[in-house]
Structure 1
């Protein structure tokens, strides 16, 4: 247990996780702010406004998944961490691992071991929160539209 406190690999994973969570939350905030602003000021039709909102939020989530996936790929190489199950050969395989983690779909064919578990566990919580944030924003924008119609 004490050895884990002084293990440089654990600190590298923790620091990388902290940076990624911060980057994803900031990215999501900025994208949400821009999309919310655009919903009020542009797009002459309701269809365009809501499609822009949905595709914008989806793009933000995909970018966040890619950030975590590429970081996991890098950390496996740097820390000697492992992913058990189906063989992961390239960055896209790690993006898949990230997607099933971010969306809290869960592990079936692959799962992390060692210090990488901290990154993946934190990604799951972050993904859940950001997806909920997107759902809340979508609801608020739809409610605003319904109130304008009634």
Structure 2
């Protein structure tokens, strides 16, 4: 069950990230006359996108932890800050924290790490493309 939930969340992450990048591209396309502004806008936009994705996963963990069959987070004091921290660490690394996922929720955590890696590299490619276009314009 945890793996299926994780797959669903990562697919949703990918679809949402795709449309967020399309929106970001449309916003920054207007700044082509000032390439450096475009690069900074993309950077700030990517920070906002990734933070939103981390917060959405934290919300998913909050909901999942209300189901007894999904497992627990050992070391979690039921605070939102712990969930955001756990989600952020899973999103950006392999999830080594003082919080330990126990039960099927481990699969959700694993899938978040995979999804986070994928969208972070996707974003790196996106900002590199913007940078390259800015440099070619000079």
With structure 1 as the length reference, what TM-score do the two structures score? 0.81
The aligned runs of 1:19-38 (5 Å cut-off) are: 19-38=8-27
How far residue 51 of structure 1 moved from its aligned partner, in angstroms, is 1.9
How far residue 43 of structure 1 moved from its aligned partner, in angstroms, is 6.2
**Alignment size in residue pairs:** 137
How far residue 37 of structure 1 moved from its aligned partner, in angstroms, is 2.8
How far residue 23 of structure 1 moved from its aligned partner, in angstroms, is 2.0
5+ residue gaps, structure 2: none
Partners of 2:90 and 2:77 in 1: CA distance:
15
Alignment of 1:90 with 2:76, yes or no, is: no
Query: Comparing 67-76 with 110-119, which one deviates more in the overlay?
Result: 67-76
Question: What is the aligned partner in structure 1 of residue 125 from structure 2?
Answer: 136
Report which structure shows greater RCO (CA 8 Å, sep ≥6).
2
Partners of 1:119 and 1:56 in 2: CA distance:
26
Partners of 1:79 and 1:42 in 2: CA distance:
50
Report the structure number with the largest CA radius of gyration. 1
Question: What is the aligned partner in structure 2 of residue 69 from structure 1?
Answer: 58
Report if the CA contact (8 A) 2:58-2:83 is conserved.
yes
Alignment of 1:120 with 2:109, yes or no, is: yes
SS at match of 2:16: helix
How far residue 44 of structure 1 moved from its aligned partner, in angstroms, is 4.5
> What RMSD in Å do the two structures reach over aligned CA positions?
1.8
SS at match of 2:13: helix
Report if the CA contact (8 A) 1:100-1:106 is conserved.
yes
With structure 2 as the length reference, what TM-score do the two structures score? 0.88
CA separation of 1:106/1:17 partners in 2, compared to 1, >3 Å: closer, same or farther? closer
Detail structure 1 runs of 4+ shifted over 6 Å in the superposition: none
